[in-house]
Structure 1
Amino acid sequence: MLDRLSKPSRLDTSDPPGARDTLTRILLGLRLEGVEYGRCLLRPPWAVAFPAQRSARFHFVARGGGWLRTQAADWVRLNAGDAVLLPRGSFHVLASAPDVPAVDIHSLAHVSLSDNIYLVQGDAPAGDSADKARDTAPPDVLFCGSLRFNLDPLHPLMAMMPEVMRAGDLAQRDPTVPALLEAMEREVALDRLGACGILARLADVLAASIIRAWVECGCSDSTGWIAALRCPKVGKVLAAIHAEPERDWTVPMLAELMSASRSSFAEAFTRTVGESPAKYVAKVKMFQARRWITQDGMRIAAVANRLGYDSEASFSRAFKRIIGQPPSAARAEHVQARGTVRVQDGRRELA
């Protein structure tokens, strides 16, 4: 159930400075880019299925209400003013009632309002004259979006996030969250010119605030990556690796940072982080490599050289082993993104 997601207490102020500084740097670098948003007008009974995707999903219930179900959890009620973030974009269903058959979101009518912002409409099946009252009732209004993180999907922070993050669970711990929810509700209520665009920007900020509140309030487990950051010695090593992923880190160098022998360092790191130093360093390098390729458009050979690989072939093998696909696939993502249409200076043109 969603109520389990954010129960732990706030990040302990006794954490070593290195842990807090590393988390701060990661949060400062966290960016969410709105891929597309839709204002959904849905007349009950309705049910919409959202297929799994790499981008995160965000939903804000502007008017009415509904139910949310994922593959891992049963139906949960959402009321007006509720917002949820699915950071890994897993399959889920939103419905006016749990027993309504779902249709795919892409099967509903989409009308473009502006660049990457759509009006999505779905009406209940036509009924007889007894259903006229229902047919003329105001529709439920949801604001749904797809967002892309600048962190790699395999990044430890992303891997630790729950399947669903509910804003209401974090509202009492972070005053930013209810303020943003109230601002979104006002925009919907006033229905002013440009409301969809403003809602999209507010959604970006709210999603980032949900994640920040979860990191600060919901990551007090005694094991795992956050616990490793809180370890005074191992946290210092993790901070160094993430600060300079392109550096040719070796076990002796990292052991020296922790002021320990190579054997004791390797044992402590593996016990706390859950994997060997060499494997962790390789993963962080590949996270950075995919970002350089997909977002910055760096050539594969240049990335391999920057990360210290002897050849493009050896880099490609390491990339595929860790990421699960060759770097050429990441390069294709960048090329495809550049080919999307955007609005600039009043004209639609290729980016």
Structure 2
Amino acid sequence: MLDLLSKPPLKQAGNTTEAGDMLTEILLGLRLDGVEYGRCMVPVPWAISFPPQRDARFHFVARGGCWLQAPGVDWVRLNPGDAVLLPRGSAHVLASSPALPPVRIETLTRVAVADNLYLVRGNGIGTPAAEGDAGLEPALDVMFCGSMRFNLDPLHPLVSMMPDVMRAGKLAQRDPTVPALLEAMEREVALDRIGACGVLARLADVLAASIIRAWVECGCSDATGWIAAVRCPRIGKVIAAIHADPGRDWTVPMLAGLMGASRSSFAEAFTRIMGESPARYVAKVKMFQARQWISRDGMRIAVAASRLGYDSEASFSRAFKRIIGHPPSLARVAPAQ
């Protein structure tokens, strides 16, 4: 489990805080849990399709290079040393050439190396060797791929605002941490020492977190919207408090006090900037947290309702269905959208 930042105490109402600290407090709650990783060795030519999934996908190109295509994203060339993060696990294709028909990733041979670490071989996915090339070993492209789980709901504003594909190369010139991590992964692949897959998994976790942090800090998102609101010194203080303690019984007067404004002026400013009322935003954050607890942690619905301050399971279930679109009883089986 990887925290983006170490957690300082939550600031109390009335303290003077810079706008950047508000975004820092939001990032404190973002963690990545590695689900599984695989070192993929595939003979050229090749093409592999990855189905949509709840967890984020990560790819590091170690040798050979390839092309990436995702919904709404044209074919993009990835060179050795490049890395990409697909934060919402969107369906996509990796290929040595865009013209090749892909095979599904689940059809490839997997050999367990250790807990959640696999060696993936693409034997048989390439086209037969050309006449005259019989007996020659095909060139092998090598990638390190992983699935990572956010502790935040996919509908959390920070996650939902991320682009479908986040390329490390775009951020390398803005954040010196990114190229340093890419170089470390390249060295680990080249040396191929004992335990390399485990080291690569940890580096992948850190690199994915660094990609997200660089995207936020370097202004790679829109200048307007949720991140701009968080950076606002007055509204950002309120948003940070809500996300830090979603179980609290937040009222409009309490939130107005954090902003240092009257109830009416606070409600008007919050709704104008966020596009929804304070009560609606608080309810959404509560339900995002509830869905994570129920679907990921297996928490009982009654326990989630109690932790989030609801007097009854029935009232909680009504609120959950109104915001998420289905009752909490389906959260364990319904994929996050």
TM-score, normalised via structure 2 length: 0.88
Give the distance between the partners of 1:255 and 1:143, measured in 2 at CA: 48
CA shift, 1:299, in A, is 2.5
Query: Counterpart in 2 of 1:61?
Result: 61
Query: Counterpart in 2 of 1:150?
Result: 151
Letter in 2 for 1:311: S
Give the distance between the partners of 1:194 and 1:101, measured in 2 at CA: 34
Residues 153-184 of structure 1, C-alpha deviations (whole Å, 9 max, x = no match): 11110011111111111112211111111111
Residues 276-302 of structure 1, C-alpha deviations (whole Å, 9 max, x = no match): 111100011112223333455442212
Give the distance between the partners of 2:194 and 2:249, measured in 1 at CA: 53
Q: Is the 8 A contact 1:18 1:236 kept in 2?
A: no
Give the distance between the partners of 1:126 and 1:149, measured in 2 at CA: 40
Distance 1:187 1:241, change over 3 A: same
Query: Counterpart in 1 of 2:134?
Result: 132
Distance 1:128 1:234, change over 3 A: closer
Q: Is the 8 A contact 1:18 1:239 kept in 2?
A: no
Distance 1:22 1:329, change over 3 A: farther
1:272 aligns to 2:279 (yes or no):
no
Query: Counterpart in 2 of 1:27?
Result: 27
Which ranges of 4 or more aligned residues in structure 1 deviate by more than 6 Å?
none
1:174 aligns to 2:178 (yes or no):
no
Letter in 2 for 1:150: N
CA shift, 1:136, in A, is 1.1
Bigger CA drift: 67-76 or 292-301?
292-301
SS at match of 1:136: coil
Query: Counterpart in 1 of 2:73?
Result: 73
Give the distance between the partners of 1:296 and 1:105, measured in 2 at CA: 27
Q: Is the 8 A contact 2:270 2:277 kept in 1?
A: yes
Q: Percent identity?
A: 74
Equivalent residue runs for 1:250-329 within 5 Å: 250-329=251-330
Bigger CA drift: 95-104 or 229-238?
229-238
CA shift, 1:323, in A, is 2.6
The structure carrying a bigger helix percent of its residues is 1
Residues 5-32 of structure 1, C-alpha deviations (whole Å, 9 max, x = no match): xxxxxxxxxxx83532232123233211
CA shift, 1:114, in A, is 1.5
Query: Counterpart in 2 of 1:348?
Result: none
- Count of residues in Structure 1 that have an aligned counterpart in Structure 2: 317
TM-score, normalised via structure 1 length: 0.85
Q: Is the 8 A contact 1:18 1:229 kept in 2?
A: no
Give the distance between the partners of 2:325 and 2:91, measured in 1 at CA: 21
Equivalent residue runs for 1:189-208 within 5 Å: 189-208=190-209
Bigger CA drift: 136-145 or 286-295?
286-295
